[in-house]
Structure 1
Amino acid sequence: MPFSSKPTEPIRQLLAGIRAFRARYYDRRPENMRQLVTEGQHPEVLLIGCSDSRVDPALLTMAEPGELFVVRNVANLVPPYQPDGSYHGTSAAIEYAVKSLKVSEIIVLGHAQCGGIQGLIRLRTGQKAEDDFVSPWVSIAASALDPYVGPEGSEQEKFDAERLQHTPAIIERAAVRASVENLMTFPFVREGVEAGTLHIHGWWFDLENGEMWAIHPETRMFQPVE
């Protein structure tokens, strides 16, 4: 059997956290959780975030249970609409949030020091991929590098990509824009946006300074959130 007979220290800490969660939400405020059970969830926000352990959307936004519908993946990417019968976890979450839960807001949340984006940049320097899933996945955002690097296969491309390894925030934010654009390839998302019932936001979290940046709706540039 692959299960450990004795919980390790990380597991003990998580179990202690679960007990604290139960005390806070089930013992002291049982009416809130009871309502979520009997009436179901009705979040207004779909948040597409990164799997990075340092950027937990619920902790970052101080959201309460039932407020966020969250899907997390490597580098907080949205693939283009591709209903081909394959496995599409992120696309399934988007479809469920928009069509079933009727969310009114979608946030794509990127962050500084993203390992997935660093991997994407390394691929553009010509480094060989040594994984089965991560590299094909992050290639979804390959177009985010195009405005900043030379023609594919050129020495200029390699030079520019190596330079970007020292300033990855440019590509992290560009990848958020690419995901926002990919959201609009989903017919039901585009319909909601055009009808004014659905709003899309691109955010980027500065991990070092704790500042949130957002795409300005008019300039389409990232700026700090006041």
Structure 2
Amino acid sequence: MTHFSDLIDGYYRFRGGEWLQERERWSELAEGQEPKVMIISCSDSRVDPATIFGSRPGEVFVVRNVAALVPPFDASGGLHGVSAAVEFAVTKLKVDEILVLGHGACGGVSAALTRSLADAKPGNGGFVAGWIGLLDEARDRVVAEHGDGAEGQRALEQEGVKVSIENLKTFPFIREALDAGALTIHGAVFAIADGKLRALQENGRFEPV
């Protein structure tokens, strides 16, 4: 189990090794960032995008949240962390691509599928319940076809990626970038158990890469 003291030990190893070896790179990054890809992924500790894709610092702009979800565009005010990150990536960093990355054995998707947090209060699962409510419509379709067992879990993990992609398209600045050919959106699901990455195809299916 990793504790804060272990993180500090890791920092010492990083500072005395990789950081020194990549000193010039870090000096460049101190001047700013120019990532070409944004990744929207789950907060799950098992699915770190940098680890999965072998990316270096400065190469990908990442926002992580429960179940890798994106809410639809909403200009009515409030605190919109994911929307703010998407806005910054597309309008300021001018990323070329966005990847929505779901994963196997996702706890947020499981909670949405089983509705285990339906009556939870904030501080006891209620915040999560409200967030994963973004999957309610997809959940109903999945359960009708696959049930709420293992098959339904896999199906909803994939449908969740599609929901986030469709919600991204509700943002005017994303729609504009897509229409101009300046932005491409991808979807994929990473399976923790076998390490396979399945990418969303034009036919709507997820196929191994």
TM, length-normalised to structure 2: 0.92
- In the TM superposition, residue 141 of structure 1 has moved relative to its aligned partner by 1.6
| CA deviation map 1:13-59 (0-9, x unaligned) | 11121122223343122100001112x00000110000000001111
CA contact (8 A) 1:141 1:179 kept: no
Residue 203 in 1 paired to residue 195 in 2?
A: no
- In the TM superposition, residue 145 of structure 1 has moved relative to its aligned partner by 1.8
| CA deviation map 1:147-196 (0-9, x unaligned) | 2335xxxxxxxxx78x3232201000001001000000001111111111
CA contact (8 A) 2:40 2:63 kept: yes
**Residues in 1 aligned to 2:135 and 2:34: alpha-carbon distance in whole angstroms:** 31
**Residues in 1 aligned to 2:16 and 2:117: alpha-carbon distance in whole angstroms:** 52
CA contact (8 A) 1:25 1:33 kept: no
Match of 2:130 in 1: 136
- In the TM superposition, residue 133 of structure 1 has moved relative to its aligned partner by 0.2
Residue 55 in 1 paired to residue 38 in 2?
A: no
Alignment partner for residue 11 of structure 1, among 4, 13, 27? 4
Residue 219 in 1 paired to residue 203 in 2?
A: yes
Unpaired segments of 5 or more residues in structure 2? none
- Evaluate the alpha carbon distance shift between residue 56 and residue 126 of structure 1 in structure 2; reply closer, same or farther with a 3 A threshold: closer
CA contact (8 A) 2:114 2:148 kept: no
Between Structure 1 and Structure 2, whose CA radius of gyration is higher? 1
- Evaluate the alpha carbon distance shift between residue 141 and residue 25 of structure 1 in structure 2; reply closer, same or farther with a 3 A threshold: same
CA contact (8 A) 2:43 2:65 kept: yes
**Residues in 1 aligned to 2:74 and 2:162: alpha-carbon distance in whole angstroms:** 19
- In the TM superposition, residue 101 of structure 1 has moved relative to its aligned partner by 0.4
CA contact (8 A) 1:109 1:176 kept: yes
**Residues in 2 aligned to 1:97 and 1:133: alpha-carbon distance in whole angstroms:** 25
Q: Which amino acid aligns with 1:129?
A: A
Percent same amino acid among aligned pairs? Answer: 42
Using CA pairs below 8 Å that are at least 6 residues apart, which structure has the higher relative contact order? 2
Alignment partner for residue 91 of structure 2, among 77, 99, 103? 99
Q: Give secondary structure in 2 for the equivalent of 1:47.
A: strand
- In the TM superposition, residue 143 of structure 1 has moved relative to its aligned partner by 1.7
Alignment partner for residue 146 of structure 1, among 140, 146, 167? 140
Alignment partner for residue 61 of structure 2, among 66, 69, 72? 69
- In the TM superposition, residue 134 of structure 1 has moved relative to its aligned partner by 0.3
Match of 1:191 in 2: 176
- In the TM superposition, residue 126 of structure 1 has moved relative to its aligned partner by 9.1
Q: Which amino acid aligns with 1:195?
A: A
Count residues with an aligned counterpart. 205
CA contact (8 A) 1:51 1:75 kept: yes
Q: Aligned Cα RMSD in Å? A: 1.9
TM, length-normalised to structure 1: 0.85
**Residues in 2 aligned to 1:127 and 1:65: alpha-carbon distance in whole angstroms:** 39
**Residues in 2 aligned to 1:103 and 1:25: alpha-carbon distance in whole angstroms:** 26
Q: Give secondary structure in 1 for the equivalent of 2:207.
A: strand
Q: Which amino acid aligns with 1:143?
A: E
